[in-house]
Amino acid sequence: MTAPPPAAQIYSLSEFWLDQKKTKLHPAEAALMAAVARGEPCEIAAERPDEKQDDNFIRAEFLAFLARGGSDEAPVTEKGICLSGAWIERAETPGDPDGLDMSGAQLRRNLVICACTIPEQVRLSGAHFSAVDFGGSKLGGLIADGLTAYNLVLDEGFEATDQVKLDSAAIGGSLRCTNGTFLGQPLALSCASATIGGNILIASGFEASGEVRIFRTQITGEVNAAGATITAEDLGLTLNRCKIAGDVYLTKGFSCAGRVNLGGTHVGADLSFTGAKINGDVRLYRTRVDGTFFWCDVSEAKAKLNLTSATMETVNMDRPSWEQPSEILMEDFTYQAFTSLREGCEGTFWISWLERQPERYLSRDFRPQPYEQLAKVLSAMGHEDEARQVKIERRRRQAKFNWQNPPAAASPFGRILRYLSNLWEYVIGVLIDYGHTPGKAVLYLIFMIFLGTGVFWVAAQQGAIAPTSPLIYNQARGDGTIPKDCAANWTRLAGACKTAMPAEYSEFDPFWYSMDVAIPLINLRQQEDWAPRVTNYETGDRDWLGWWVRLWEWGETLAGWLLSLLFVSAVGGLIRRE
């Protein structure tokens, strides 16, 4: 028998008769033709066949003939083709790469080939059907570039031993791949520049050994990959530059050995990684999410999480999840709020999150934007204390970066000014947290006053504090009214020394003396009446104890001025906090 012409050239039933009387077809073919003419399903077997037999074999060319509308002798009703349990293969050239070629078919009715085995490739390029259903079938691959159909079903035990290509397809409803197995390598499923009017379902038992690539595709519904498994170790799930009106669920057991890439994709609702297990990088570079980005209860994420230039409406995360990636890139990452904040989200929680960035972004190549964005959001949510701590940490790291990387100056004087500026930044950071906590200056001042109290008390006990009035001093050295022994230690005013001092002269008190030294705007007369003695009253030699106390006094005075000015400047807003 003469081999039938290529599928695209078959226009009549006569090409397929197996006898000269033109009455005989393969049993499964005859059953299919009769069922199609009646508008009924054709069940060759209850299960998908594992081997080719006489009673289940249908020529791929014959099925392609019917898929193109058949003929007057083999009509196809409006219900289309519904076939199950058949073995479909080319008759004359088994294993031909063209396989079941229905390219360009314009049946515009249903094409349902369920639980069938098609060891060769199936081609639907440019075809137009009402719906295409390969549920439970095993194919040698599917090339459906430019396919137009309302629904495309590749689920419930579907298996493809080579790649499935749906580039430029127009699916009015959903693409259903739930519980399907896609074994093509390195590319298992490709859906580029396509239009999906419903959902993409690659969930609950979906398995792919190669990359799942959904690129520049417009999806009106959601993408659900909950429970999917992708074992490709390099490129795993590529879902970039897409526009998705609904949610994206990579949740509830989603597992990917390779990279997950949503770069440049616009998600109109939520993007969730809850329960996901990902060994490769998660790339959300320039991803836009109009809903909530869920990064919580993540099972495993070993590599990088790239949020660079991503835009999220809200973020829901927890510490165990964001501690899993090796690092988090978040330069120019913007968001409006956090949802469902867990307990313990104090300042250290947020700073620890920011410290998940690459070390170079925290030191030699410091990026301030993540700190500024976080502080802005926390402040807008009413978490002022946490926002202030984040701002302080940002200024601290910025000051460290400026100190380690000073810009080149045109002159030595310019370099000195830059170092002084960096030094000043360091000082105000230590003393008042860059103006955010002016109360620290008061605490430092109080601490210094009490420390000075101890210093002046010890000095007084050792006789290193003396009155500043020459008259009183001379009376103690001559035959005046003050006992001569008082000159050895003026602050022991018990007994004769105390009563001999003039009533209008202040009694030395180390606490009030320290306060008089440290606070520049008050006068308690302690410094007017008393001072450290720097020379021995008998020999005229240097009194080293008094000398060191005098140095402390000068330092306490200068520190008091500095702390007082910093406090006033911070309260008055003269020190720039941002």
pLDDT digits (tens, 9 = 90+) for 351-393: 999 999 999 999 888 999 999 999 999 999 988 889 988 988 8
Instruction: Look at the alpha carbons of 383, 384, 386, 390 in this order and tell me if their dihedral is positive or negative.
Output: positive
d(CA 298, CA 111): 40
| Same domain, yes or no: 221 and 208 | yes
Tell me if 207 sits within 8 A of 231, measured CB to CB.
Answer: yes
Q: 78 exposed, middle or buried (CB, 10 Å; 0-12, 13-18, 19+)? A: exposed
Q: Are residues 324 and 354 in the same domain?
A: no
DSSP lists the bridge partners of residue 118 as 139
Q: Which helix (H) or strand (E) holds 189?
A: strand 187-192
What count of Cα atoms within 13 Å lies in the side-chain half-sphere of residue 215?
Answer: 13
Rounded mean pLDDT, 523-545:
80
DSSP conformation letters of 131-165: EEE-TT-EES-EE-TT-EESEEE--SS-EESS-EE
pLDDT of residue 464: 84
R_g of the chain computed on alpha carbons:
43
Which of 453, 464, 454, 473 has the alpha carbon at shortest distance from 549? 464
pLDDT at 473: 65
pLDDT at residue 465 greater than cutoff 90: no
Residues 395, 316 within the same domain: no
466 and 550 in a single domain? The answer is yes
Q: What range defines the domain where residue 210 resides?
A: 150-342
525 and 560 together in one domain: yes
Long-range contacts (CB closer than 8 Å, 24 or more residues apart) made by 335-338: 335/293, 335/311, 335/373, 335/377, 336/312, 336/377, 336/380, 337/313, 337/377, 337/380, 337/381, 338/314, 338/377, 338/381
- Answer yes or no: do 392 and 472 share one domain: no
pLDDT over 50 (residue 1): no
Q: Considering the domain boundaries, does residue 42 fall inside one? A: no
List beta partners, residue 192.
Answer: 215
User: Stretch 184-210: mean pLDDT, rounded?
Assistant: 95
With respect to residue 493, please indicate whether it lies within any of the assigned structural domains: yes
Task: Please check whether residues 357 and 461 belong to one and the same domain.
Answer: no
Q: Give backbone dihedrals phi and psi of 447, rounded to 5 degrees, phi first.
A: -60, -40
User: Domain ends where: 342, 363, 381?
Assistant: 342
225 found inside a domain: yes
Domain co-membership, 332 together with 364: no
Q: What is the pLDDT of residue 560?
A: 87
Answer whether residue 573 is part of any domain: no
Taking the C-alpha atoms of residue 429 and residue 358, their distance in angstroms, rounded to an integer, is 24
Least confident of 118-132, 171-185, 222-236, 550-564: 550-564
Residue 175 located in a structural domain? yes
The pLDDT of residue 4 is above 70: no
Query: How many Å apart are CA 104 and CA 370, to the nearest integer?
Result: 52
| 551 belongs to a structural domain | yes
- Which residues partner with 179 through β-bridges? none
Does a structural domain hold residue 387? Answer: yes
- What's the full length of the chain, in residues? 578
| Residue 521 near residue 484 (C-beta atoms within 8 A) | no
Looking at the 3D structure of the chain, how many domains does it have? 3
Which of the pair, 49 or 398, is modelled with greater confidence? 49
**pLDDT for 313:** 96
- Is the model's pLDDT at 500 over the cut of 70? no
Query: Number of C-alpha atoms within 13 angstroms, CB side, residue 130?
Result: 13
Which residues on adjacent β-strands are paired with residue 57?
87
Does any domain span residue 103?
no
Same domain (yes/no): 184, 289? yes
Measured distance CA(211)–CA(251) in Å, rounded: 18
The contacts found for 469-477 with CB under 8 angstroms, 24 or more apart, are 469/505, 469/529, 472/501, 472/502, 472/505, 473/537, 477/537
Residue 494 confidence (pLDDT) above 60:
no
Closest CA to 190 of 143, 139, 223: 143
pLDDT digits (tens, 9 = 90+) for 416-458: 777 777 777 778 777 777 777 888 888 888 999 999 999 999 9
Same domain, 413 and 467: no
Q: What count of other Cβ atoms lies within 10 Å of the Cβ of residue 439?
A: 12
- Which range among 3-17, 168-182, 204-218, 257-271 shows the weakest confidence by mean pLDDT? 3-17
DSSP per-residue letters across 511-575: HHHHHHHH-TT---SHHHHEEE--B-TTT--B-HHHHHHHHHHHHHHHHHHHHHHHHHHHHHT-S
* Predicted local distance difference test score (pLDDT) of residue 495: 57
Q: What are the DSSP E strand ranges found in 207-310?
A: 207-208, 211-215, 218-219, 223-224, 229-230, 235-238, 243-244, 248-249, 255-256, 259-261, 266-267, 271-272, 277-278, 282-283, 288-295, 300-301, 304-306
**Same-domain check for residues 167 and 257:** yes
Q: What is the mean pLDDT of residues 81-107?
A: 85
Higher pLDDT, 399 or 166: 166
Strand order in the sheet with 187-192: 100-101, 122-123, 142-143, 164-165, 187-192, 211-215, 235-238, 259-261, 282-283, 304-306, 327-329
Residue at which a domain ends, from 321, 342, 363: 342
| Sequence-separated (6 or more) residues with CB below 8 Å from residue 134 | 113, 114, 116, 122, 142, 153, 154, 158
| Judgement on whether residues 398 and 509 belong to the same structural domain of the protein | no
Of 319, 342, 365, the domain-final residue: 342
Q: What is the DSSP string of 47-71?
A: S--SS--TTTEEEHHHHHHHHTTB-
Cis peptide upstream of residue 325 (ω within 30 degrees of 0)? no
| pLDDT at 133 exceeding the cut of 70 | yes
